[in-house]
Chains A and B, each alone.
Chain A
Amino acid sequence: MKSKKPFVLLSGTGLFAVVLLMILSACSESKEAEAKNYLGPEGIPVSQEMIAELTAPPNVPGPTARRKAKKLIVNMEVLEEEGEMTDGVKYVYWTFGGSVPGSFIRTKIGDEVEFHLKNHPDNKLPHNIDLHAVTGPGGGATSSFVAPGHEAQFSFKVLNPGLYVYHCATAPVGMHIANGMYGLILVEPEEGLPPVDKEYYVMQGDFYTKGENGDRGLQPFDMKKAVDEDADYVVFNGKVGSLTGDNAITANVGETVRLYVGNGGPNLVSSFHVIGEIFDVVRVEGGDLINTNVQTTLVPAGGAAIVEFKVDVPGTFILVDHSIFRAFNKGALGMLKVQGDENKKIYSGKQEEGVYQPEGSGIQEMPVDKDIVQTKETAKSLQEKMEFGKATYMRTCFACHQAEGQGIPNAFPPLAKSDYLNADLNRAIDIILHGKTGEITVNGVKYNSVMTKQDLTDEEVANVLTYIYNSWGNSKKEVTPSVVASRRNAH
């Protein structure tokens, strides 16, 4: 409707149509008339064919506002492949397009989508796709059921604008979803969504592994835990850390950010929240209802929401499921890094980072069992200690002490080149085992915060300290489990 270039349609169009188009585009009233001639959205004509641009999270394809409804060809491949849930924890994901969540599909109302679902020959299982944007039996599932090494094709017309989940619906449905087979399809209204500066794709999912959170090695799916809804990982975009550190999404002060937030489930609903921001606009459940000035929006399993907000001040804003143990203990944590000038009128003080509370990971204040379960794989070389230690660090210490051990000014002391750390190994062990409260001075700067005791095994403590001491310019000590054990028994 708002196309500024009606004449691009000239080629291949009959003279009559050309004349008609010229008349129609001469004034806006005629355009309105044209719109009313449609018999509802299903009457919207499609002109040309185009191959849909598909993007892996957190990216989304470009807006559709400037194009007319088209025959949109979507080529999506199903891949069953091993990936990494978090450092050291492997998982076999089943994916749409090689990512979890699957590729983002962007359509506009009236598009006629020709969907090609390709099941890779190496795959073990049949798959299909149920798109909530489809009006028809099974959302396309019946028509797209396809064996390994084969391709299924079906078409549908997108009739309702909104943000919709798609997922696999092959038996056993829960298992296909739990292994990562979900994603989002956006149907834009005729005029498109209002332009914003940055758009991102964030989708939550819960995962169930045979081992507990953090257990190393290839972790099979655990059906019992899935039935009990006892998730080991709750994550954004398929794995722990997919939106943190170098993977953080970014914006500049003054820009408007739009997040397409989905929840694949299979079980848990999400209390989606961005720490330190208020959503100016929430398109509730991805539909027409607009709510404004929202702190936390509920995203149901198999549902979505579009949230928009302007970033006014710089800093790191943390995306969480505000069912908060999921964020700090199961992985549902992402970062939006905003760069630009400070605005003291809006926020002054400890504004650098938006971590919620000085909590570590691990279970707090649980009595330590005498028969602490040792991790099955034990580190044998310094290299392995570094690797295992890093995994524990990223799980337990990262949120406060940060990726490069730089800490957070005024809140959490640095571990990098830390005089306090390097001065006394036993003290460092004690702090991990028993926690630390009160003022300390690190590299000449005073800190006064709380570190809770960490529920880690002797080996985990040894590995993580070895990692810390051998990183970021520290004194390269190698710590053994027996030294940790002797400190533990000393108390």
Chain B
Amino acid sequence: MITSPLKIVFFFAICIICTLNSVIAQTENMVTVKGGVYIPLYGVDSTAVKVNDFLMDIYPVSNNDFLAFVKKYPQWKRSHIKRLFADENYLVLWNDDNTLGNQLKPNSPITGVSWFAAKKYCECQGKRLPTIDEWEYAAMADDKMPDARKKETYNQYILEWYETPKSFNNSIGSTFKNYWGIYDLHGLVWEWTLDFNSVLISGESRKDVDKDSNLFCGSAAVGASDLMNYAAFMRYAFRGSMKANYAVKNLGFRCVKDLNITP
């Protein structure tokens, strides 16, 4: 089920690197997320994680953005891409290598891209994909507070989105602006993370609630935080079903950048 870390290292090695001169760090349309210590959704007190300050894209990468990328780096065009890096669903809704399909809007989030393509896109902007912890940390925020996970209405909002079909074709920026000034972390598309498969959730989700597992220790699974767990479960289950070459209609991405490194 899960691509082993070893395989990823292998892919890293053979991945084509952006030519250095094209890497111009784009920090416009990014905002600072102030880091801190947080307990991941799957965790208990002892598993608190430190997240450093980082910059995150305000919006997910759009169809137009990605179109510009493949024009500049033709090896990531639909007809050129290696099967190792993306399955048959890669950009499947596009008419051809250089044109979006009829049902896609330029300003909607790019979907149908593999982890390799997303990772490469970010690298070519002088950025990188967010880690799960960075993504989850930023996505704890609702419009008013940095950690809204205990808010019933917030979790209900997330759960409702999970049940809404075909939201991938809405425009970027069409959901709420969160505490950090970031849009669309919930409500538009799933998003790739750098280490999407580092938290192992097996195909048998009920097994993952026992104490032997890193994920969803007994206390969390039966505690008062059911709503919170349910929303989180969905994301972790989704990530757990992915392989790095999968291209999925409801899955896009955005990029982040470390704050302390100047371009």
Contact = CB atoms under 8 A, between A and B. Distances in A.
Interface stretch (A8-16, A165-173, A293-301, A366-374): A165-173
B203 A223 contact: no
A264 B160 CA distance: 22
A171 B201 contact: yes
A304 interface: no
A126 interface: yes
Nearest to B242: A147
Contact of B205 (A82, A169, A179): A169
Given A82-B165, A122-B166, A148-B248, A138 B230 contact: no
B89 A126 contact: no
Contacts of A124: 162-165, 167, 190, 250
Contacts of B236: 171
Interface string B158-177: 01101111110000000000
Contacts of A121: 89, 92, 248-249
Contacts of B238: 125-126, 147
Given A92-B165, A221-B159, A171 B234 contact: yes
Contacts of A138: 203-204, 206-207
Contacts of B248: 121, 147-149
A476 interface: no
User: In which size bucket is the chain B interface?
Assistant: 35 or more
B258 interface: no
A81 interface: yes
B195 interface: no
Contacts of A150: 246
B240 interface: yes
B65 to A, nearest CB: 22
Given A122-B166, A125-B238, A175 B230 contact: yes
B203 A143 contact: yes
B165 A81 contact: yes
B108 to A, nearest CB: 15
Interface residues of A, number: 38
Interface string B230-263: 1001101110111100111110000000000000
Given A92-B165, A147-B246, A224 B206 contact: no
B1 A145 contact: yes
A149 B112 CA distance: 10
Interface string A181-218: 00000000000000000000000000000100000000
A117 B163 CA distance: 20
B165 A80 contact: yes
Most chain-A Cβ atoms within 10 A of its Cβ — which of B156, B163, B246? B163
A125 B189 CA distance: 11
B155 to A, nearest CB: 8
A179 B204 contact: no
Contact of B163 (A144, A145, A147, A220): A220
Nearest to B250: A124
A128 interface: yes
A125 B204 contact: no
B165 A126 contact: no
Nearest to B238: A126
B159 A141 contact: no
Contact of A179 (B92, B160, B163, B164): B163
B210 interface: no
Nearest to B249: A121
Contacts of A128: 203-205
B236 to A, nearest CB: 7
Contacts of A141: 203-206
Most chain-B Cβ atoms within 10 A of its Cβ — which of A122, A138, A142, A223? A223
A123 B238 CA distance: 11
B204 A137 contact: yes
Contacts of A149: 89, 246-249
A124 to B, nearest CB: 5
A142 B241 contact: no
Contacts of B247: 149
23 contacts: A82-B165, A92-B163, A121-B92, A121-B249, A123-B250, A126-B240, A137-B204, A138-B204, A141-B206, A142-B203, A147-B242, A148-B250, A170-B205, A171-B201, A171-B208, A172-B233, A175-B159, A210-B156, A220-B156, A221-B163, A223-B155, A227-B226, A227-B227
Interface of B: 1, 89, 92, 152, 155-156, 159-160, 162-167, 190, 201-208, 226-227, 229-230, 233-234, 236-238, 240-243, 246-250
Given A128-B205, A148-B249, A172-B233, 10 more contacts: A92-B165, A121-B89, A124-B165, A124-B250, A146-B241, A147-B242, A147-B246, A148-B250, A170-B237, A223-B227
